Structure 1
Amino acid sequence: MYSLLIKNVKIVDGTGNPWFYADLAMKGEKIVRIGSVKEEESEKTIDAKSFVVCPGFIDQHSHADLVLASAQQLKCLEGRIRQGITTEMLGNCGISVAPISQESKDLMKAFTEWMAPGDLPWDWESMADYFSLLEQKGVPINVGTLTGHGAVRAIAMGFRSGRPSSGELEVMKKHLADTLEQGSFGMSMGLIYAPGMYADTRELIEMAKVVKEYDGLVTSHVRGSSETNLFAERELIRIGEESGCRVHRSHNEAVGREHWDKIEKSLQMEEEARKRGIDIAYDMFPYPAAMTMMVAIYPPWALEGGWSQFVKRVEHPETRRQMEEDVEEMVPGWPTWKEGSWPHNIVRATGWENIYIGYIPSEKNKKYEGLNLREVGEKVSKSPFDAISDLLIEEQGAISQLIFGVSGDKGTDVPLRQLITHRLGGFVTDAIDIGTGIPHPAAYGTYPRILGKYVREEKLLSLEEAVRKMTSFPANRLELKGRGLIREGFFADLVIIDEEKIIDRATYEKPRQFPEGIEYVIVNGEILLEKGRLHPIRPGRVLRRGK
């Protein structure tokens, strides 16, 4: 007897091959038969005539690390589940919440508060500890993690700039190897963020060699998406070439209109690298705006030493003026890890008017959510720099930002389209909802946006190709076993959609709007979402590399 049967359904299996009609039978957490199956052979049947079933969507770039550890887990993940995500990868942009030490905990906590739904105890240290916590709580969808380069660097060096000593590098390598032994899928780098921005290319190559030993993946939020975009692309290719490791560019983008033309060249560089045997690809989100921590607008020297040192500098009048001058005038150059340099000046690339406050903790200051930094300055009769600096101190750094002008704007999405259609790209959210503030609409709409706007309405790519980029593509990049395809013997992570209705409804003004057209979400053979009803169950698994 089968536990669940999907009858009369159009199957898009994740390979990119043409769809076909069949019945789909499950026993427990696995798909066991694709073909013709009688209803009486199953305990439960879904008649999916006129619908499409495809593998559950795999979000390769999530920042829900602290959401999953919180009491608000299911509430904050609802937008992700309702858009069809059944598996997500944590630990991106060099920012994983494990491993940590007693010494690095406060440093990492200060730079991740914008990702946290309320105060958390941070009562773990190793990756194994963090996995145990998630397994004790249960998870509604499958989750795995990368190891943040920034996290292991903070253990060895704190937020100090410069090269690690040979001893410090060995400490970093050991902690990375430990996490890979414990099930991490690889290493992420966040090279516009402290402390990752202080690492030179040689350090990153040495760390990538450790990942290569475990056949993991190295992903990178590269050093720059504006002036240094192509230098940063070249650096990632070099890391892959000299380490022998598979490499992956996270949320490929170009920030600021004058840099959008760099996207085409970066894609050419990846194609040329693959011809030389370097395994490189990328992912992207289908929106002309990005979300990150607000402290990312400051130059590297301002953030050295961590949050407490930043506060001292920004409270010193002369140092504050130097910061403001750098933020408004400094042009990024290469190499970016040397003293006095800067990989990616967001304000210079986009302007104060294109940087908006997404989340701010205190009720007193929530009135600034949704305003750009120029508007915030006008409200308090200060320069945008002084206004946001004062707010950051008051809120202890826990402010997020939305940046517009990323690979497009309201007038054109041509650069986005290049990224959407290229064969080496997959789709991700790069977004979280912590239950308050203004999240990026990608947290609610990424995959329905692709399937509704770019597949059905604009026919930019086929349904089969879009589904491949959401399923088997990330599964192959991460080497997830038994997921990403509809095949007998694979895990039953499935999404049933109405291809005529599927569309995103989340906007920048009203981001917490669920998409239409997602009929069912099935995780490991259990129905998590059923005709609009979210069941309060946790059928997900904590995934470990190689298992």
Structure 2
Amino acid sequence: MLTKLSGLYVVLATLLLSACAGEDRQDANTADQSLLIRNALLFDGKGTAPMAGDLRVQKGVIVAIGDLTLLDGEKAWDAEGLALAPGFIDPHSHHNSSLGEKPAPASVLAQGITTITSGVDGSTDVSIPEMFAEFEKSPAAINLAAFGPHNNYRTAVMGDDFRRTATAQEIDAMTVLLQADLDAGALGLATGVEYEPALYSDTSELVELAKAAAKVGGRYTSHIRSEDINFYQALDEFITVARDAKIPANLSHIKLAMANLWGQSSKVVAMLNAARAEGLDITADIYPYDGWQSTMQILLPERDLEDRGAYEYALDSIALPSTIILTLYEPNPSYVGKTLAEIADIEGVSPVDMLMKMVQETSSGNLREKIIGRNIGAADINNFMQWPFTSISSDGRTDDRHPRGQGAFPRVLAKYVREKGVLSLPEAIRKMTSLSAESLGLAGRGVLEPGYAADLVLFDPATIMDHGTFTDPVQYATGVKAVWVNGTLVWQEGKATANRPGKILRRVQKNESHD
């Protein structure tokens, strides 16, 4: 959801409309030093079987892999046979919102994540140029990429008059705002059409904006219009945008968030495969939890806050009261951590009455609230995760009330690889590295090969584990021994170093070389 709008977007929109419409494990390790990581089990990020060997880094780049000899004056790190992989790339993250305060967040580094992607769900707190400028002034320990946020453009152009389709002139104004972000290096266009104000857009608006991104080699990523009642219509719209705009498109945090849809993931995968068979570059990402986090109003697709029948339907068919957990409720913080069923029991009212009261109270008072809805089927998570074109994401925030912010990537490696065998270890790593880099359009990242950036994670496949739960979410993962970003050590044995080597990863256009 859009919480704060950058003044730059507002000013630009106003002008546009008025004009016309190891062995030596030292925290000081930097990219300037030659580093040899020895005795590692190397996972190349492409899904192939690992090989034992060494890896050399110079000036932030991988320069050699194999049976290598230590050079004079070179630092060495004994990997002790542990897994060395490309740093994990998070294609759908909200961790950037706290990077100014926590530039080396344990929530991220303890997972082995070296790159996060902002602007997803179609919203950012500031414009992309402002975000990038702030980052470059005060770099973080991790890399940052971003999409152009559709919700920001719509708010800047339409203001409070957003509960309608946009005019051609307004779409033109949004396109110019998007172009400014693309010029700054945004990866493409991101939409969150289940949220205001994009909820009121039509498909043609999305297509026209996506065409602008496609012209410069950008991509499209979308939190689709519905993940429950109107899922199939929303999926059709997503595919239509990809087809009509001729743009690579990624379906954000794929899920069937409604008990009545459980078991239909095979049908969804068949639809996605059919789209790819016609030549569309369709991908998805997923987080490994049975619960989403959003606002209570997401349970009311029509946003009629007075319609009791809509509340009754939501609690009967979308998410049961016992599966809805309050994670933020400004009118009464004591509700946080309790289910809707528990809160209704405390207050002596029905869950329907309780939900109506809370939605109306927060809406009328412009007060913040959030819920987790644990209504995603386990079999569907497995099926979507196994689709070859689904990468792993967190959709997380730093120290958030949802455990995904602290544990998504280790959870896949622990539960879905080691415990359940849903994925092999090489395939899981591919879904965390090269597949994400490809779907985002990031060149020179996500693979262990000479010439690629030395974003690296060293971890123990036998012990890596997430610890956050829905009742106690802020627990950091364990099992990641070291993380390097652009060749510089940023995480070692459970602690962040003082290094801040992160870079802005901008869209690479045709005929441009990668960083």
Question: Structure 1-normalised TM-score?
Answer: 0.82
How far did residue 16 of structure 1 move?
1.0
Of 154, 163, 166 in structure 2, the residue corresponding to residue 161 of structure 1 is: 163
1:294, 1:397 within 8 Å by CA — same for their partners in 2?
no
CA distance in 2, matches of 1:202, 1:28: 46
Of 359, 363, 371 in structure 1, the residue corresponding to residue 328 of structure 2 is: 359
Matches within 5 A, 1:236-247: 236-247=238-249
CA distance in 1, matches of 2:223, 2:79: 40
Q: Secondary structure at the match of 1:514?
A: coil
After superposition, the Cα gap between the structure-2 partners of 1:395 and 1:446, relative to the gap in structure 1 and judged at 3 Å, is: farther
The percentage of aligned residue pairs carrying the same residue is: 30
1:299, 1:327 within 8 Å by CA — same for their partners in 2?
no
CA distance in 2, matches of 1:73, 1:8: 31
Of 32, 41, 44 in structure 1, the residue corresponding to residue 75 of structure 2 is: 44
1:140, 1:539 within 8 Å by CA — same for their partners in 2?
yes
How far did residue 324 of structure 1 move?
3.8
The equivalent of 1:372 in structure 2 is: 339
| Unaligned residue ranges in structure 2 (runs of 5+) | 1-31, 509-513
Q: Does 1:327 pair with 2:292?
A: no
Q: Secondary structure at the match of 1:400?
A: strand
The equivalent of 1:309 in structure 2 is: none
After superposition, the Cα gap between the structure-2 partners of 1:347 and 1:243, relative to the gap in structure 1 and judged at 3 Å, is: farther
How far did residue 380 of structure 1 move?
3.4
Q: Does 1:499 pair with 2:461?
A: yes
The equivalent of 2:26 in structure 1 is: none
Q: Secondary structure at the match of 1:93?
A: helix
1:193-221 Cα distance to aligned partner (Å, 9 max, x none)? 00111111111111111111011111111
The equivalent of 1:480 in structure 2 is: 442
CA distance in 2, matches of 1:95, 1:5: 41
User: What's the Cα RMSD here?
Assistant: 2.1
Matches within 5 A, 1:397-436: 397-406=367-376, 408=377, 413-433=378-398, 435=399
CA distance in 2, matches of 1:51, 1:4: 17
Question: Structure 2-normalised TM-score?
Answer: 0.87
The equivalent of 2:6 in structure 1 is: none
Of 124, 137, 141 in structure 2, the residue corresponding to residue 96 of structure 1 is: 124
1:50-101 Cα distance to aligned partner (Å, 9 max, x none)? 2010000000000124212x42444xx31111011000101111112343xx
CA distance in 2, matches of 1:369, 1:514: 21
| Alignment coverage as a number of residue pairs | 474
Q: Secondary structure at the match of 2:97?
A: coil
For 1:379, the aligned partner's letter is I
For 2:312, the aligned partner's letter is E
How far did residue 390 of structure 1 move?
5.9
CA distance in 2, matches of 1:142, 1:360: 32
1:344-398 Cα distance to aligned partner (Å, 9 max, x none)? x687411333221113458xx3321111223223333452224423652597432
The equivalent of 2:265 in structure 1 is: 263
For 1:378, the aligned partner's letter is D
How far did residue 482 of structure 1 move?
1.0
For 1:424, the aligned partner's letter is F
The equivalent of 1:200 in structure 2 is: 202
1:166-189 Cα distance to aligned partner (Å, 9 max, x none)? 211110111111111111001111
Matches within 5 A, 1:199-348: 199-301=201-303, 322-329=306-313, 348=317
For 1:327, the aligned partner's letter is Y
Q: Does 1:385 pair with 2:355?
A: yes
The equivalent of 1:444 in structure 2 is: 406
CA distance in 1, matches of 2:408, 2:72: 36
The equivalent of 1:147 in structure 2 is: 148
Q: Secondary structure at the match of 1:66?
A: helix
CA distance in 2, matches of 1:346, 1:299: 13
The equivalent of 1:316 in structure 2 is: none
1:197, 1:300 within 8 Å by CA — same for their partners in 2?
no
After superposition, the Cα gap between the structure-2 partners of 1:347 and 1:444, relative to the gap in structure 1 and judged at 3 Å, is: farther
CA distance in 2, matches of 1:498, 1:85: 15
2:106, 2:495 within 8 Å by CA — same for their partners in 1?
no
After superposition, the Cα gap between the structure-2 partners of 1:139 and 1:474, relative to the gap in structure 1 and judged at 3 Å, is: same
After superposition, the Cα gap between the structure-2 partners of 1:346 and 1:31, relative to the gap in structure 1 and judged at 3 Å, is: farther
CA distance in 1, matches of 2:485, 2:342: 44
1:488-528 Cα distance to aligned partner (Å, 9 max, x none)? 11111000011111122221122122222111111111111
Q: Secondary structure at the match of 2:176?
A: helix
1:482, 1:490 within 8 Å by CA — same for their partners in 2?
yes
1:230, 1:262 within 8 Å by CA — same for their partners in 2?
no
After superposition, the Cα gap between the structure-2 partners of 1:282 and 1:263, relative to the gap in structure 1 and judged at 3 Å, is: same
1:274-320 Cα distance to aligned partner (Å, 9 max, x none)? 11111101111111111123443345555xxxxxxxxxxxxxxxxx5
How far did residue 401 of structure 1 move?
1.4
For 1:425, the aligned partner's letter is T
* More divergent stretch after superposition (33-42 vs 519-528): 33-42
For 1:423, the aligned partner's letter is P
How far did residue 451 of structure 1 move?
1.1
Matches within 5 A, 1:162-201: 162-201=164-203
| Unaligned residue ranges in structure 1 (runs of 5+) | 100-126, 303-319, 330-344
Q: Secondary structure at the match of 1:475?
A: helix
For 1:97, the aligned partner's letter is D
